[in-house]
Each structure stands twice: as C-alpha cells, then as structure tokens.
Chains A and B, each alone.
Chain A
Amino acid sequence: MRMLAAALLLLSLTSSAADLSPAERQRNIESFEQVWKTVRDRHWDPKMNGVDWQAVHDELRPKIEKANSAAEARKIIGDMLDRLKQSHFGILPAAVYEQVQPGSAGSLEGRTGLDVRLIAGQVLVTSVEDGSDAAGLGIRPGWELLAADGIELAPIIARIAKALEASNMLPLAAHAAVLHGLSGKPGSPVRLRLRNGEDQTVELSVPRIQPRGLRTQFGFMPPLYAWSESRRLEGGVGYLAFNVFMDPENLMKTAAAAVTSCLDCKGFIIDLRGNPGGIGGMAMGLAGWFIEEKGRRLGTMYTRETTLNFVVNPRPVTYRGPLAILVDGCTASTAEILAGGLKDLKRARILGSRTAGAALPATIQKLPSGDGFMCASASYISEGGKPLEGSGVTPDVPIELTRESLLRDWDPVLKAAIDWIKQQK
C-alpha cells in the first residue's frame, strides 16, 4: 500500500492534460463529492484534524467544475486530501487502479531483482536476487543506481525530497518511486546506468523477471509477491524475514516452523527492513509467538465508532528468549505496528534506522471517474501511548547502512543484533 502511494507521487509528475466530455466532467464532480463525503463521514476525528472540511469543499468545488482534464481533476481532489496532512489518503489514477484490480494482468509486475535504498542521498543497491539476470551481470550491493531507461534518478529524488521535506517518509517514497520506475512487463529489459564499486560508470541492460514469491492480493490492495524465509544463524540465533504482511497461509507456516524449531535458540531476529506492511491482524498473530502473557496489546486503533485493541494471542508454545527486530526507513504500517508494539511491551530490542511513520489503516474504493480512492479509516496509537503516524518507531540501537558496508557485503544491523543477543544471559 505504501509503495503504491509513493509511486503515485511519481506518476503525478507525468500526467498529461486532455479535454473532457460533459459526462467525464460530471464523473469528476461526482468523484470529488464521493471523496469529500467519505472523509466527512468516516474520518476517525469528527474535527477532521483541525481542518474546516466544509470550507475546503466550498473552496475546491468550483475548481473541480472547471477542471479540463482527468489529471487536473485528480490534482484538485488530491489537494483536498492533502489538507488533512495525513498519510494513506490519495487518488490512484485509473491506469494504476486497474492494475490493482483482482485478476488484473499486472503488466508492471516485472522486476529487476534489485532492491535499493536511499542512503546519504544516493540510490544504492542493497540486495541482488540470487540467480537473477542482474546478479549474472555482476551488479553488487553498494552500487549506485544513477538512471533507468535514460531517466536520471537524482532529479526525481530531489522532487520527492522537496515534497516530503516535513515528513519522515522520504526513504519509503524514494524506494517506491525507484522500484516503480524499474518495473515493467516481465521479460522486457530496462537499461540501467550504475556506479560500481570502483567508482566507474557502467551501463547494463537488465531483463525484468517475475518478482520473488507468491502473487497475492487482498481486496483492492495492489497485488504483491510475498515471500518469507527463516534460518538459524551463527551462534544458535533464529532468523525470520519476510517482505510483506500478506499471504498469511505461508508466512504463518514459516513463522511457526521458525519458532518451534528454535525454542532453544540463544536469541531470535525478525528482519522487517523494507517491509511495507499489509494485513494489520497479522501483527497480532506473529506477536503471539513471542508473548507469553495473555491480554497484552501492541496498541489501539480508533475509528469514529469503535476502539479496537490489538490484543496478542499467545500461542500454545512461545519463544521466550531475547528478541531483536531490524527496521529501516522502508519499514511501514503493519511492520511498524509489530515493531513498535513489541518495543513498547519491552519484549524486543529494535535495531536499524527510524521507520516510515505511515501506520494508518486504509482501504481503496472505486470512484465514478475510474480512479481509485485510498482512504485511511482509523488512527493508531502504539501501546507506549504515542501515535506511530508521522514519527515512526525509533530504534533502541540506531545503525545506518553505508555504501562501504554494502560493498563489503557487511550487514552492520544484523551483526549488531547478533552481538546483542550474545551478550544476553
């Protein structure tokens, strides 16, 4: 969800204008009204975060009536939502929305096999999928990605940074925008310009491949490829990583096997770096493997009508040893709920960099214009009493990746977690 939201930022920079028919104009007006009324009726705060919502409507309604293109109408509705100054409110252009429909072909699903992060202002490769063409071409973690298909990344990152200057979401948005730019039809090539470990500029044509994992989708959330893995690290430390809180069938099986085979482990690590969240309830389900006491909560969600406690259900068997959670600026939403809640319960030590602070639950509905409308439906307060939205989870042990560490194939965050576990009695 977060990836999609951030990708919209990029798409909004490339929309073109076109004349509208009277019917299209009317559908834009209806869309404007649907968005305005939905927020008015469903926002968890009847005071609308201090915004005079009626005044916003009255100001922008004449503008939507005069909008001459779908892009202009979308921008006006987006402007309306921006007034709330909260994440998870946004408009998905129809072309993108069609991509997220159940059963859609997903022509943008091909990936390069590279993962990236914005580190010290540079887009750096942080992992290269084993067996991928990118790996075969010799691309290594630590290389800087400069351009894709002739499009320079630096100006795009600069624009996103400017748009998000007051937000903590830059790493997440930059990550999503770059990955979106690299995506395309599986099998099609993308021409990359990179700076390698010797500071030389190289140009490579990388065929896009099907992403790792199982294609999964829930409702109108965008289809995602979900994978999970577990292993035992040096010194008898359990390790669980997964890229998204989706495909519960497989993820929960992986987690169950990881924990139950590791009850005697010296410690356990959950790697949530780059995890953008997903199904909120899975945070409680996973926490149940690490919490022994009944009735503990990760936090509380507030809608206008209800207060929902994120109560952890202890599993019949739980892991009771030291628990470390790895996070970064691309850890968002449900991943923040899990990390923040376990930190607040003093059950886990958090290592890495501050998370995205994008923790509002949201749904997507279709508008008369054909666009999708992402609407946050609740606020969330972590068990420590603070909202995650905006501020994110602050690590107990802040550690940043660097180009040097990546080039050395050295993961200082993971190493710090293992060291901490070794120090525990």
Chain B
Amino acid sequence: MKRKFAQSCVAVAVLCAAIAVAQEPLPKAEAILDGYIEATGGRAAYEKLRNSVTAATMEIVGQGISFKMAGYAAAPNKKHTVIEIPGMGKMEEGTDGQVAWSLSTVQGPRIKEGQEKAQALLGAAFNSDLRWRELYKTAETVGVEEVNGQPCYQVLMTSNEGLQQTQCFDKKSGLLVKSRITVKAQMGDVPTESLPSDYKKVDGILLSHKGTAKVMGMDMVVTIQSVKHNVEIDESHFRLPDEIKALLVKGGAKESKP
C-alpha cells in the first residue's frame, strides 16, 4: 500500500513537472542569441576581432581516420579551410566573399553554386554570431530539449537565403550545446548534428574547443588546438586558386557573380 502510494506520488510529481515545463514561456530567440554573445564574452570583445587562424584535429571514431585542419577567416566574409587526410590527400574550401569553391586531390577543382554556395558564404561570414540579425531573416525559439542531462532552448534560424539550422543553448549557462544543420553538399543534403563543448576563453571570448558530430551514421570528434585572432594572414589564402580561375574562364566567368 505504502509502495503504491509512493508510486502515485512519483506519477503525480512527474505529471506536475511535465505541466510546469509545458507551461513555461519560452524566451524570445533574440534574447537567447544576444545572451549567448554576453555569455561568451560580450559584444565589445567580438567587435575587436578582424580575423582568425584555427588549428584543429579531426577523428572519425572507430575508423582509424584522423587528420589535421587549418582554418583562416577574415572579416567580412573571407575563408579558407585546408584539410589533409593521410592516404587521401588535401581538401581545400574557400571563398573570397564572392566565389565559393572547393579543390581536392581526389575530385579536383569545383565552383559551388546554388544553396551550397549560399551556405558556404553564410559560413564564411566573420563574427556571424554577432551579426545574426544581418544574416538571418528569422530566429524563433521552438522548444526545449535536454543535452547531456541539461535543458536547452532550441532556436530555429532561417537565413536570408532560406537555409535553416537549429541551435540549442543551455538554459543555465547560455552556451551553445547542440547544433543541427543540413549540409548542402554537391552530392546531396547531409543532416549533421554536433555537440560543442569544452569552452575556453581566447582573447576574451569563450570558444568551444571540442565538438562531437554525427554525420551519415559516423561519429566525428573535432578538437581545437589553437585559435589566434588579429594576426597577419597571407592574402594568398583568400585568393582564388589557379584551377578555380581556369574553371571560371571556362564557364564564361558567370560563376564569379555573388
């Protein structure tokens, strides 16, 4: 009898908690996104940044595949990423703010188009967290979910080009703890889910130094080894490679338009 009563209490408590969660008003996305800026260092700290150089390692768990990545980014929208995979060669991606391209040992040069290009340009927007109002036409808080046992607010963001991603910000710390995005690749749409963690302060800003991601059923781990801001970056990183220029010439340079 006593046990049955206890079970009933638990059931009622769970029900009450569920109602409490359901009835809790969701904060506006604007407050969450601005809160993230504050939680990670504040607007002033972000505004000091002009560029970044990132070194990272990536591992595909259980497959014996690990590789290095180097990222170069500069305001307002220049980016160059270099990945070197043992046994597979080099893979580069970049944009000068107008042309988004990829160049790999395996597949050769390619100019990105359509939504893939739009996503590449969005990803190259420097300080994009700070500039979300400029880059996204809508941001809406759509719910609450648990990540690592802690509740977080889900914010659905829709870019000016219609690309969507859902980001989840920890209720307590305000930090980004989960991100869901469908990567627009030439080969097709690839849903990915990543869990940023291990936040460390760099130049006054808390940056995630570790991320786990699930891509096509495989688990990936990204570990940031260093992030440097406001350093001299050779401009060649943001120039179009010769192979990309050759493709532009072949295509009548029509791809060079933003």
Interface size on A, residues (CB 8 A): 39
Which of A41, A102, A310, A316 contacts B217 (CB under 8 A)? Answer: A41
Does B109 belong to the interface (CB within 8 Å)?
A: yes
Residues A300-323 near B (CB distance < 8 A): 303-311, 313, 315-317
Residues B35-72 near A (CB distance < 8 A): 60, 62-65
Does B186 belong to the interface (CB within 8 Å)?
A: yes
A315 touches B62 (CB 8 A): no
CA distance A218 to B250 in the complex (A): 34
Q: Which residues of A contact B86 (CB under 8 A)?
A: 102, 217-218
Given A101-B64, A303-B216: A311 and B187 interface contact (C-beta under 8 Å)? yes
Q: Which residues of B contact A342 (CB under 8 A)?
A: none
Q: A145-153, A277-285, A344-352, A386-394: which lies at the B interface?
A: A277-285
Does A365 belong to the interface (CB within 8 Å)?
A: yes
A306 touches B188 (CB 8 A): yes
Which of B85, B107, B217 contacts A288 (CB under 8 A)? Answer: B107
Interface membership of chain B positions 75-95, coded 1 if the CB is closer than 8 angstroms to chain A and 0 otherwise:
000000000011111000000
Which of A218, A246, A304, A315 contacts B109 (CB under 8 A)? Answer: A315
Given A220-B64, A308-B188, A316-B247: A246 and B87 interface contact (C-beta under 8 Å)? yes
Q: Which residues of B contact A315 (CB under 8 A)?
A: 108-109
Does A219 belong to the interface (CB within 8 Å)?
A: yes
How many Å from the CB of A221 to the closest CB on chain B?
8
Q: Which residues of A contact B188 (CB under 8 A)?
A: 306-309
The closest CB in chain B to the CB of A366 belongs to B62
Given A305-B191, A309-B188: A284 and B217 interface contact (C-beta under 8 Å)? no
A249 touches B243 (CB 8 A): no
CA distance A247 to B250 in the complex (A): 28
Does A42 belong to the interface (CB within 8 Å)?
A: yes
CA distance A311 to B217 in the complex (A): 22
Does B246 belong to the interface (CB within 8 Å)?
A: yes
CA distance A276 to B146 in the complex (A): 46
Does B190 belong to the interface (CB within 8 Å)?
A: yes
Does B209 belong to the interface (CB within 8 Å)?
A: no
CA distance A301 to B249 in the complex (A): 32
Given A248-B106, A252-B106: A316 and B216 interface contact (C-beta under 8 Å)? no
Does B110 belong to the interface (CB within 8 Å)?
A: yes
A248 touches B109 (CB 8 A): no
The closest CB in chain A to the CB of B214 belongs to A305
CA distance A101 to B63 in the complex (A): 10
B187 touches A279 (CB 8 A): no
How many Å from the CB of B220 to the closest CB on chain A?
13
Q: Which residues of A contact B217 (CB under 8 A)?
A: 41-42, 303-305, 377
B108 touches A252 (CB 8 A): yes
Q: Which residues of B contact A220 (CB under 8 A)?
A: 63-64
A285 touches B63 (CB 8 A): no
Which A residues lie at the B interface, using CB under 8 A? Answer: 41-42, 101-102, 216-221, 246-249, 252, 279, 281-282, 284-285, 288, 303-311, 313, 315-317, 363-366, 377
